[in-house]
Amino acid sequence: MTDTEEFRRQPPAPLPARPLNLPEPAETTLANGLRVVVVEQRRLPLVSFRLAFRSGDSSDPQDLPGLTDLMTDMLVEGTESRTSRQIAEEVARYGATLTAGASSDYLTVAASSLAAYADEVLELLADVTLRPVFPENELALAKANAQQNLIAQRAQPSFLAGEAVARVLFGQHPYAVVASTPESIEALAREQLVRHHRRLLVPNNAVLLVVGDVERGHVVEQVERLFGGWARGEVSEPQFPAPPERTERVAYLVDRPGSAQTNILVANTAIKRTDPDYFPVLVMHTILGGNASARLFMNLREEKGYTYGAYTQLDARHLAGSFRATTEVRGEVTGASLKEIFYELDRVRDEDVSGKELSDAKTYLTGIFPIRLETQEGLVDQLVQMRVHDLAPDYLQTYRENIQRVSKEDVRRAAQRNITPDRAAVVVVGDGAQIRGQVAPYVARVEEFVGARGGAAGA
């Protein structure tokens, strides 16, 4: 072997950490409770706006799943002074973006543009937030599109697996609902959107983040002018049932006759986003299944050749969380794949990870973190997460330090607390005739999952 060949076999040492040099956010609160956070960043002549509300899909009435999503989507489809087309033309004229969307914990109205048009775009954002009219013609189109999207979603095995595992893990908690139903979409009416908008979009439950080539004093002046008359509303902390306690490992089968592949999800409830163990769990997740060099991937793909990829997912939300191992495999190796998944889940609980695995995970996490903050949009998204999840004010500055502090013992403790293979929910989507017998040896029993209309067996 030549010296050159040996050199190519050795990965370069990681570069020393560089300071983040993040600009300091300046926060102001209006009399109506709206928090305004301005970050002056003049590297580029751009500005990004995020108006975030600490209410999301979990606020949907039980009989109307999808209400928040539809209401949020329709914010940009007409106001008291602008039609949907006029809004779209104005956004295009400024070369801007204007969108609205919701997740389970929060919803956002977002805009970005050249800094030269910051005042105009902020006025447009205020208009769609404060004065939407939810026109009947646009509502009919939105409902038709939602029905078609639901049909497309339910044709995807990955969606069916996610729907099943959410229902099984969270029971009567709103996190159990991942999509609307044909009946709930059809039942949605304009009056419901108007009431829901009035209830959720209140200033004392919101934060407006502005990042870019702006001057703080001018931004606050404009915000006061546009949002100062916005009336406060009633805000209460949600009270939801706790996720059901699981006592045994059960498989839930979503039967798709003739399917050549099996989608596998092995899951249990886990930490909330503000849990003190967040960083140990994050490092553990990275080692076990967070990327293409993690244990699950190397086992199921590189060693066994069962799949193109196998990963873990850490879904830590405001009120509850879940930890999942997921993969798609050939139907004939469903049982063998489950065997390897449980082997890896048990191993990370029972044995300390190696020093190299721990070092590599830390290098990976601390290396990609600054990249997420490199763009203006990336920075504002991180600031949104901090505000809606009540993270520490110095979260960004101390992120890498918190990662480096994680020990082998922390990883093992995090695994023992957040991975419970003996009580896991095992969701398999595939050809029941082919895979039922393969799954049975690894679980206490196999149950049929009925689906969105009928609920989940055993939930």
Q: Is residue 412 a contact partner of residue 353, using CB atoms and an 8 Å limit?
A: yes
Furthest C-alpha separation in the chain: 76
The pLDDT score that the predictor gives to residue 430 is: 97
Beta-sheet strand order (sheet of 425-430): 307-316, 321-330, 261-270, 425-430, 250-255, 445-448
Q: Does the domain made of 250-448 have the CATH classification 3.30.420.10?
A: no
Pairwise CA distance, residues 96 & 227, whole Å = 21
pLDDT of residue 455: 37
- C-alpha 71/C-alpha 100 separation (Å) is 9
pLDDT of residue 327: 98
Segment-wise mean pLDDT, segments of 10 residues, the chain, 459 residues = 64 70 92 97 95 96 94 97 98 98 96 98 98 97 96 95 96 93 95 97 98 97 98 89 95 97 98 97 98 97 97 96 98 98 98 97 95 92 95 95 98 97 98 98 95 41
Cite the beta strand spans of 2-114 per DSSP E.
26-29, 35-40, 46-53, 97-102, 107-114
Q: Using alpha carbons, list the distances in angstroms from residue 61 to 66, 168, 177, 188, 382.
A: 9, 20, 11, 11, 29
SS3 13: coil
Take residue 379 and report the two structure tokens written for it. Answer: 């920075």
pLDDT at 54: 95
DSSP codes of every residue in 168-187: HHHTTSGGG--S--HHHHHH
Given this model, what pLDDT does residue 447 score?
A: 97
H-type helices in 262-323, by residue range?
Answer: 278-289, 295-297
Within 13 A of 25's CA, how many CA atoms are on the CB side?
23
Sequence-distant (6+) residues with CB within 8 A of 193 are 67, 70, 71, 74, 134, 139
The confidence score (pLDDT) of residue 23 equals 87
Question: What residue ranges do the domains of the chain occupy?
Answer: 26-227, 250-448
- Nearest CA to 265 out of 276, 248, 251, 278 is that of 251
Other C-beta atoms lying within 10 Å of the C-beta of residue 236: 6
Topology (CATH) of 26-227: Cytochrome Bc1 Complex; Chain A, domain 1 (3.30.830)
- Which one, of 255, 254, 259, 266, lies nearest residue 296 by Cα? 266
Give the CA count within 13 Å in the CB-facing half-sphere of 192. 18
For 12, the token pair is 């370069």
- Residue pair 459/167 in contact (Cβ under 8 Å)? The answer is yes
- HSE value, Cβ hemisphere, 13 Å, CA-based, for 457: 13
Question: pLDDT value at position 459?
Answer: 33
Structure pTM?
Answer: 0.92
* Inter-CA distances, 237 with 146, 198, 390, 393, 402, Å: 29, 17, 13, 21, 29
Predicted local confidence at residue 176, as pLDDT = 95
pLDDT of residue 451: 66
